[in-house]
Every structure is written in C-alpha cells, then in structure tokens.
Amino acid sequence: MTKIITSPSKFIQGPDELSRLSAYTERLGKKAFIIADEFVTGLVGKTVEESYAGKETGYQMALFGGECSKPEIERLCDACKSQKADVMVGIGGGKTLDTAKAVGYYNNIPVIVAPTIASTDAPTSALSVIYKENGEFEEYLMLPLNPTFVIMDTKVIASAPARLLVSGMGDALATYFEARATKRANKTTMAGGHVTEAAITLAKLCYDTQILEGLKAKLAAEKHLVTEAVEKIIEANTYLSGIGFESGGLAAAHAIHNGLTVLEETHSMYHGEKVAFGTLAQLILEDAPTAEIEEVVSFCLSVGLPVTLGDLGVKELNEEKLRKVAELSCAEGETIYNMPFEVTPDLVYAAIVTADSIGRYYKEKWA
C-alpha cells in the first residue's frame, strides 16, 4: 500500500515578505515574470518595484485578466516566453495563483505564489482549476509538482477584509474530518497514495489551531492587525490545511459544498463558508459524537461561519431543491465516496436537513 505526502519545496511566512521577493526569485533564476490583477498591482506594485531596485535580478510585471481560462493561460505563456523569463510568480487570489501555476508548468520553469488573502488552502497544491471565459468550471489541471515557494506576507493578508480570513477557517475546518474519513476508508488522496501519518497529524493540528486561535485571530483581523493568533491561523488556513487536504483526502464536506452550488442563493457566499456547513453535515452523516458537533458549532458561531442553510442565504427549505443538492453531492467521482460507508442521496439529504436543524437549535440555545 503506497502512502504519499506532497508539499511545496519552501513555505515562507511573515510580515513584509513581499519586500524580499527579489531575494527569493534570484535563488531560482535571473528574470521573473510576475502576474497580478489590477487591484493587487495597485496594492503591491510599488513593493515589488522597490524589491528589485538596484538588483541584478530582473522582472516583468503583467496584468492578469481575472479568469483562469485556457486563452488567458496561453496569452500569459506567450508573454512569459517573449520576456525570456525563467521564474514564474503569481501574486493575488486563487485564480491568479492557479494561472501562475499553469503558466509555470507549460513553460517548464519554477513557480512562486504569493497569496494576498488566506481564504482557502489552494496555494500550496499541485492543482489549477480551469474555468471557461464566462466563469463556468471547465476542468482540473493536475500538475506534477507543487509550487516551489509559497510566500505569505502576513501584513498584506491582514489588510484584507476579516471575512476572507474567516472563510479560510471554514475551508480548514473540514480538513481533519475529511482526512480522518479518508484514512478510515483506506482510500487514496489527491496526492495519489494513501494517507500518511504526517498528513493526518498536520490535519489534526490544523483543526486544533482553528479551535484555539480562530476567535482571537478574527478579532485582530477586523482591526487589520498581525498578532501571533493571526500568524497561526494564516499558517493553518494555508499550509496545514493545504497539506491536509491534498495528502490527507477530501470527503463529504467538500462534496456537499459542490452540491450547494446548485442553489442560486448560495452564490454570494465564499467557498469556505459553504464548506463549513458541509463539515457540519458530514459530522451528521457519520453520526459523530455530540460533543464534537457542539465544539464545531460553537466555533462556527464564535467566528461567524454558517451553521444553517439560512446563514447561506437559503431562506426556504424546499425539499426538491435540497434533494438536487444531495444528488449533486453524490455525483460520480465525487469525494463523498471517500467516506468509510455507503453513501446515498437520501442519506445526504437527511444529513443536510438535520445539520440545519442542529444549527438552528444551538443558535437559539446560545442566543
């Protein structure tokens, strides 16, 4: 039985790390091709310029068009080649980083990603999500290697709205429970092997960090402050959860998130916010201990993550619509089949409705 763990070559985190970008790119090549969208360019462009001032290492900054699509990847691949760049850098949110990973892969050059938010665990992964030009999902691009460097400038990340950091907590909340289910079921992970002890341990540390530091980090982030709690949550949201999901496995929580996307009312919610509710539904599905469910609900309420369908914008519990959610959650190839027992749409529907009831119960109890 092959076990595999995968990760970036180097994970770098701290305040003002973007000001040292040139020092990192010069370890890998002589000229960096850097992409960022218009907003992020305005936010960090001067920092990047100052980092390279007076250095032998060169760079070229290009605007990312906003969608990680095949035409955009091809356009940036051509631009990168024309600049004779030998290091690829993406600065910004998930679509920018996924595009940078794809361009680096097709040009066969090392990749550095520098997230400006900590709202998901995607930056560390060997994966790009490819969309059509109209924003519809098209396919996953599975990459042979993780990014070479992941740079987390905690000062930049703390300047973002606190809701984004909390959304990252929701995504990370699922990590341990999904890895635990995958390990119990003896299923393979996105890394291509079975769960290692290292991956499950990092996933558990990710959960423990959320519970211990999440509320403190949220309160500090609302003031755009970098505290030790914020540092720990950024690491948990990105690195611990990133290794945990890719090498530990995904299960029901993310499948239920995917099912929830069929509800138009949820489209304004962030990925991690829907995953948080999916985590509660997974715990119901597997009949987790009441104390564990209470701890998860209490955490979600403390930081402002959804625990009911109403929190996700679903004001009416329409059975027909919710059964469509359950059916999509159980689509062929979904990660819900990493649960250690047989799963059906009927069971998922019951778990979703029960999770909503439990969320309502605790909201009223602790109001």
- pLDDT digit string (tens) for 336-366? 999 999 999 999 999 999 999 999 999 999 8
Mean pLDDT throughout 79-101?
A: 97
Question: Which of 194, 257, 311, 356 is the catalytic position?
Answer: 257
Q: How far apart are CA 252 and CA 338, in angstroms?
A: 8
* pLDDT band of 138, cuts 50, 70, 90: confident
- Three-state DSSP state, 71: helix
pLDDT of residue 224: 97
Alpha-carbon torsion (54, 55, 57, 62), positive or negative: negative
Catalytic residue among 98, 194, 254, 311: 254
Q: Please report the pLDDT score of residue 146 as a whole number.
A: 97
C-alpha 151/C-alpha 314 separation (Å) is 37
Phi, psi dihedrals of residue 364, rounded to the nearest 5°:
-70, -40
What's the pLDDT band for 135 if we cut at 50, 70, 90?
confident
Average pLDDT over residues 92-118: 97
**Full-prediction pTM beyond 0.85?**
yes
Nearest in space to 207 (alpha carbons), one of 152, 170, 254: 170
Q: What is the share, in percent, of the chain residues with pLDDT greater than 70?
A: 100
Read off the pLDDT of each residue in 308-330 and give the average, rounded to a whole number. 96
Burial of 267 (0-12, 13-18, 19+ CB in 10 A): exposed
Tokens matching residue 106: 């097709």
Task: Inform me whether the pLDDT recorded for 104 exceeds 90.
Answer: yes
Percent of the chain with pLDDT over 90: 93
pLDDT of residue 207 exceeding 80, the answer is: yes
Q: Is the pLDDT of residue 113 over 90?
A: yes
What local confidence, expressed as pLDDT, does residue 133 receive? 87
98/117 Cα distance (integer angstroms): 14
E strand or H helix at 63, and its extent?
strand 58-63
Mean pLDDT of the chain: 96
Segment 153-161 mean pLDDT: 97
Mean pLDDT (whole number) for 99-121: 97
Q: State phi, psi for 89 to the nearest 5 degrees.
A: -130, 135
Q: Is 194 a catalytic residue?
A: no
Confidence at residue 120, expressed as pLDDT on a 0 to 100 scale: 86
Q: Is 98 marked active-site?
A: no
Cα-Cα-Cα-Cα dihedral sign, residues 325, 296, 333, 341: negative
pLDDT at 137 over 80: no
Per-residue confidence band for 162, with pLDDT thresholds at 50, 70 and 90:
very high
Decide if 267 is catalytic: no
Active-site annotation holder among 37, 98, 194, 271: 271
pLDDT tens-digit map of 11-35: 999 999 999 999 999 999 999 999 9
Q: What is the pLDDT of residue 72?
A: 98
For residue 75, what pLDDT is reported? 98
pLDDT of residue 132: 87
The token pair that represents 76 in the structure block: 């940036």
224: annotated active-site residue: no
The catalytically annotated residue of 98, 121, 153, 171 is: 171
Three-state DSSP at 110 gives coil
**What pLDDT is stored for residue 136 in this prediction?**
74
